Amino acid sequence: MERAVARIDFEAVRANCARLRDELSDGAELCAVVKADGYGHGAEGCAAAALAGGATRLAVATAREAEEVARRLGHVPLLAMGALSEPEVDIALGAGAELGLWSEDFRRLLAERARAAGQPARVHVKLDSGMGRLGTFDPAEAIALARACDADPDLELAGVWTHFATADELDDDGYFEQQLQRFDPVARALKAEFPDILVHAANSAAVFRQRRSHYEMARCGIAVYGLDPFQGDPAERGLAPGLSLRSYVATVKRFPAGQSAGYGRTWRAPRDTWVGVIPVGYGDGVRRGLSNRAEVLVGGRRRPLVGTISMDNLTVDLGPETAIAAGEEAVLIGAQGGEEIRAEELAAQLGTINYEITCGLSPRVPRRPA
Ligand SMILES: *Cc1c(COP(=O)(O)O)cnc(C)c1O
């Protein structure tokens, strides 16, 4: 029995990508986003599964991630989406990554570094249509940058793109549509002038929300991993979770009424009961905020997580009578028997989103194939 392990279902990742491909408008490519170690699922294995499921491109956030993906997967079209400092530009170019671009200063730097590397850099000009993060707000500047890239022998204009702030919020006062309306004329003008470029805007939520956002490629992360972009039930969108978090019951102890469990005595047995100790904690990324809130599957049933989660242990109430003995499997995320605990459920208990649940699993938890 392993102390704690994240089981990764690569077949589910593959099938989720095939599902996303079905959802996309004709001809639109799927770019699988594998940043943050594949949202905590392991970038290398998930990238390979995504490509097997019909993704034709990959994206990461940082230069180091680009380097790692290129080293492990060889030549696959790869977009580094984040802001890059000068040394990071060299790393990303060395990895053969395509880069985002939104200022004349960065355009000059990139051209200089690409010339030094002896290979033109492929760039995607980013319009900030309302995310308020990376990209230029000014459509004229985006168009001017695209022309300057096209005219520069050290650069190749590869795309024009934007990113949505509220694709996952259906009740957003029309903000998603406004962003689309700001991006669309810039995308059309550049596509008319440079027919070979790739126009892209949609993340996972946008793919399900609005076909007009698909353009020629969608950059999907969360749905690739079978997590629901709208924080609902992924099965309703034909997605299956790619990760489960499993541990075991290390000890079962009789607690007399009034005995407390864990630091600070935040829970006391309301009656004589059996308590199981599970050797995972916030050192593994099981957030302390779940103390006295979440449930854990043991023996195919939901058991309340009682007491404060420690760095390396947590406790569950097995009830006054139990057949559970030390050695039984415990599931913190995933299915057991007919029950399932999804990342979306834990996210709601913490007031966060499923993205943060899987990204937050620490390196102490080995990732292994399911
Ligand atoms: C992370 C990211 C994505 C993927 O978003 P999901 O909601 O996980 O599908 C797409 N585009 C950009 C710019 C991102 O940073």
Nearest CA to ligand 1 atom 12: 163
**Distance from residue 221's CA to the centre of ligand 1 (Å):** 6
pLDDT average, residue stretch 168-187: 98
Would you say residue 212 has pLDDT above 90? yes
325 — pLDDT class (breaks 50, 70, 90): very high
Show the CA angle centred on residue 21, arms to residues 130 and 199, nearest 5°.
40
- The one-letter code for the residue type at 172 is D
Active-site residues, by number, are: 35, 263
Q: Is 222 in the pocket of ligand 1 (CB under 6 A)?
A: yes
If one looks up domain 10-237 in CATH, what number appears?
Answer: 3.20.20.10
Domain ranges of the chain: 10-237, 243-341
- Check residue 112 and give its pLDDT: 98
Confidence of residue 99 (pLDDT cuts 50, 70, 90): very high
Q: Is 221 in the pocket of ligand 1 (CB under 6 A)?
A: yes
Percent of the chain with pLDDT over 70: 100
- Asked if residue 257 has pLDDT above 90, the reply is yes
**114-155: pLDDT as tens digits:** 999 999 999 999 999 999 999 999 999 999 999 999 999 999
Decide: 229 in ligand 1 pocket, CB within 6 A: yes
Q: What is the mean pLDDT of residues 10-19?
A: 98
Q: Find out if CATH 2.40.37.10 is the number for domain 243-341.
A: yes
**What mean pLDDT is reported for the chain?**
98
CB distance 204 to ligand 1 below 6 Å: yes
The DSSP bridge partners found for residue 32 are 58, 220
The rounded distance, in Å, linking the Cα atoms of 153 and 176 is 36
Burial of 247 (0-12, 13-18, 19+ CB in 10 A): buried
Of 115, 184, 214, 189, nearest to 156 (Cα)?
A: 115
- Ligand 1 centre and the CA of 219: distance in Å? 6
Ligand 1 atom 6, closest CA? 221
81 CB less than 6 Å from ligand 1? yes
- The rounded distance, in Å, linking the Cα atoms of 252 and 276 is 4
Ligand 1 centroid distance, CA of 310 (Å): 32
To test ligand 1's pocket by mutation, which of 16, 30, 163, 219 has the most ligand atoms within 8 angstroms of CB?
Answer: 219
What mean pLDDT is predicted for residues 230-235? 98
Ligand 1, atom nearest to 219 Cα: 10
**What are 336's two structure tokens?**
């057991």
Q: What is the pLDDT of residue 144?
A: 98
254 CA distance to ligand 1 middle (Å): 48
Give the single-character DSSP code of 25.
P
CA of 45 relative to ligand 1 center, distance in Å: 19
The mean pLDDT value for 302-311 works out to 98
Q: Which of 13, 17, 30, 33 has most ligand 1 atoms within 8 Å of CB, for mutation? A: 33
CA of 147 to the centre of ligand 1 (A): 26
Cα(37) to ligand 1 centroid in Å equals 14
Mean pLDDT over residues 87-110, rounded?
98
- The distance from CA 62 to its chain's CA centroid, rounded to whole angstroms, is 14
Ligand 1, atom nearest to 220 Cα:
9
> For ligand 1, atom 13, which residue shows the shortest CA distance?
163
Our answer on whether the CB atom of 135 is closer than 6 Å to any ligand 1 atom is no
Within 13 Å, how many C-alpha atoms sit on residue 300's CB side?
3
- pLDDT score at 104: 98
**Which of the four pLDDT bands, split at 50, 70 and 90, describes residue 185?**
very high
Pocket test for ligand 1, best of 60, 203, 231 (most atoms within 8 A of CB): 203
Examine the pLDDT at 340 and tell me if it is beyond 90.
yes
CB of 203 shorter than 6 A to ligand 1: yes
Region 283-287: mean pLDDT is 98
Burial 309-331 (b: 16+ CB within 10 A, else e): bbeebbbbbbeeebebeeebebb
At residue 1, the pLDDT reads 83
